[in-house]
Chains A and B, each alone.
Chain A
Amino acid sequence: MYEQIIIAGFGGQGVLFAGKILAYMGMDTGKELSWLPSYGPEMRGGTCNCSVIIADTQIGSPIIQRPDALIVMNKPSLEKFADSVRPGGVIVLDSSLIDSKVERDDVTVIYIPAMKIAEQAGAGTLGNMVMAGAYMKARDDMFKVDDLYKSVREHTPAKRAGLAEKNIELIKAGYEFKQC
């Protein structure tokens, strides 16, 4: 396994945090991993992305040239990264925030209204968790969603355990979402 994931969206959507929980899952399951954020003179509402690699072998470049998976939460990021995804790869797209379709037939695309699902659950800021759940479903053959739940619990401070459970609830919503 050498899974290269780019998570992209606007600053404030929890792009970096979504990457972080996947990274924790990688670490807790004994994999090699790297997590690289975009950084710069950025501001709230600007674009933001992070690159996460989870692998069985030593990780070379932490910069991802051709991602296996793209988790995308705004249109500018879709335009920026859609073509770079490897043939056979997966794109998880928040259809409540992006109104366009992916013009490729060599990748699996999951359209999920993540922000809407999060809002309906009373947690409008946790669309990132719904997206992570949908990604886990697409990668059912690679990762176990239970491992992700475990890592979320383990790396949330005890006094904020309620937040961990809310995150898990929304990951689950994304994981169980059925595309029609």
Chain B
Amino acid sequence: MDWMYMWMPIAGVNIFWPGLVLIGFSVGVIGGFFGMGGAWMVTPGLNILGFPMAFAIGTDIAHIAGKSMISTIRHSKFGNVDYKLGVIMIIGTVFGIEIGAQLVMWLESIGKVGPVVRWVYVFVLLLIATMVFVDYWKAVRKKKAGIVGEHGAEGITWYKTLHRIKIPPVMHFKVSGITCSAWLPIMVSFLTGILAGFLGIGGGLLRMPALVYLIGCPTHIAVGTDLFEVMISGLYGTFTFGAKGRIEIWAVFVMLCGAAIGAQIGTVATKYAKGYGIRVAFGLAVLACMVSIILKQFKFDISATVLILSAVGLICLYICVIMFKGAAEELREKRMEKSAA
């Protein structure tokens, strides 16, 4: 079985390469569907495969950059990427991350960084999950009451209130179909940037719901636009971690082979999923992430890893089912149309 192990010359370890392909595939599927990098899923997997921690994070970021590029290309062809909005949001994200990082440094100086960051992370994830499920519950009620908008029933519509604040310059984002003050996306990305910098995460987990609930992007466009941002920040992360010697480049190549297939499946699955299908599955993923952090906080490291990997497996399976069922139905309809003609 030696052929199943690959020598990683930089990290100096033998790695079970099908495991890398599988991790790349799963995160490709989930990332393409939810519009996030998914670092919280990859790092435990790389650790299990025997990657030294020093290389796990950098390798993970480089893989996320490549994977997001694949998903962005696909989402872009569907018309799911609002580049104008994405570029504007980068401004806020950059300044936000800097302030978040400074906050962490201050906490470090008073020796309270570990528990504070973890509990803030848990609180933010709980807030996102609650928001997603309350939104779903409200949307179901509205649908039953017959209150349906352009894209179907909507639960939480905070963005409508925020759109009324017309501080110049007011901009129109054609792809998202929204008109608002340019300060709205800048401020939202600034706040999510602070949180991302503070929590030490990429920020996709925070930006995707923020794009939906605060800026008013349709879910599909929020997913595509967020991936565009993840791609840019991921490429810069690749450079910084590469220059610090924390990337095992061969592992990135192997993982990308799996991610390339996974990202296509995840992205195409959004075509067959309703916005709320994506939101609810996202909420469940956030819940799994939250419980795993609580378990880690109480030193149940193995249980946390098992939970994360089980959640990744199940969500990945759910997305694959959506994609294959949807594609089969579409092809069947096309065949029927052809035979009728």
Do these two chains interact? no
A residues bordering B, Cβ < 8 Å? none
